[in-house]
Amino acid sequence: MKRKVLIVEPSEVIVEGLKVALQHADLRILEPETSVENLGVRLDLHKPDILIINPTLNDNVTEMRNGRNLAVVALVYQYIKQSRLRHFDAVVDIRDSSSSILQMVLDLSTKSSSGDNAMSNHELTRRETAVLVEVAKGLSNKEIASRLNVSVFTVTTHRKNIVRKTGIKSVAGLTVYALLNNLIDEEVVI
């Protein structure tokens, strides 16, 4: 089934660009909103699976999710305090490449369709976990990109999200995290 995406962003140019980036057989882009005025109504009426919203309009993720099975993505193009982005399921930066933005949104949709996203703001997506495992093994972004068959940009975006969600910045720290969560065996760590 196609995942429904609602974009809430005041800039028409950015909305149009995002719509192009998100052209994919598994996604259906709903009529965008330029403000949060009708957001509650739209969420109830059209039941989007993914909400992509400019956090300067609203960063209260709990209120937006409000029991709905909804992944909430922050759309940023300026400096925003990390603490305001903490509750979002993912952060899309408009300076990321189109393909990495698309990949991130597709990853989200597989997760929300699995149904258990109660803890989603802390949990890593499947793709992020895959990247984390390679990071913990000591591979470079370039090596990870070629192994997972994605662009280096996509890998950097995933890494930013991993750091944001876990609060762990160093490779050594991420390796410990991966070991504690049984994502890798000690033998693979170099």
Partner 1 sequence: MTDYFYTANDNLSALVTEHPELLLTLSHFDMPLGFGDKTIAQVCHEHDVEPDFFLLITQVYCNDSYVPAQAVIKSTPMYNLVPYLVRSHDYYLNRRLPHIKSHLAKIASLLPKRAGNAIKQFFDAYVGEVEAHFAHEETTVYPHITRLLTHQHGDDYMINDYLAHHDNLEDKLSDLVQIIFKYLPTGETDDDAIDMIFDILQLSRDLRKHSLIEDKILGPYVKLLEKQHTAR
C-alpha dihedral, 163 to 169 to 173 to 178, nearest 10°: 10
Binding window for partner 1 (CB under 8 A); candidates: 3-11, 93-101, 111-119, 163-171: 163-171
CA angle 55, 59, 62 (to 5 degrees): 145
176 in contact with partner 1 (CB under 8 A):
yes
Binding window for partner 1 (CB under 8 A); candidates: 27-35, 45-53, 67-75, 179-187: 179-187
Nearest Cα neighbor of 112 from 8, 2, 19 is 2
Binding window for partner 1 (CB under 8 A); candidates: 33-41, 125-133, 152-160, 167-175: 167-175
172 in contact with partner 1 (CB under 8 A):
yes
Q: How far apart are CA 5 and CA 27, in angstroms?
A: 7
| Closest approach of partner 1 to the CB of residue 179, in Å | 4
187 in contact with partner 1 (CB under 8 A):
no
Binding window for partner 1 (CB under 8 A); candidates: 64-72, 79-87, 144-152, 171-179: 171-179
| Closest approach of partner 1 to the CB of residue 84, in Å | 19
Contacts 24+ apart (CB under 8 A), 19-28: 20/98, 21/98, 21/99, 21/101, 21/102, 22/101, 22/102, 22/105, 24/102, 24/106, 26/2, 26/106, 26/109, 27/2, 27/3, 27/105, 27/106, 27/109, 28/2, 28/3, 28/4
36 in contact with partner 1 (CB under 8 A):
no
180 in contact with partner 1 (CB under 8 A):
yes
| Closest approach of partner 1 to the CB of residue 129, in Å | 14
Q: In the range 2-31, which residues lie near partner 1 by CB under 8 A?
A: none
Which residues are near partner 1 by CB under 8 A?
A: 166-170, 172-173, 175-177, 179-181, 186
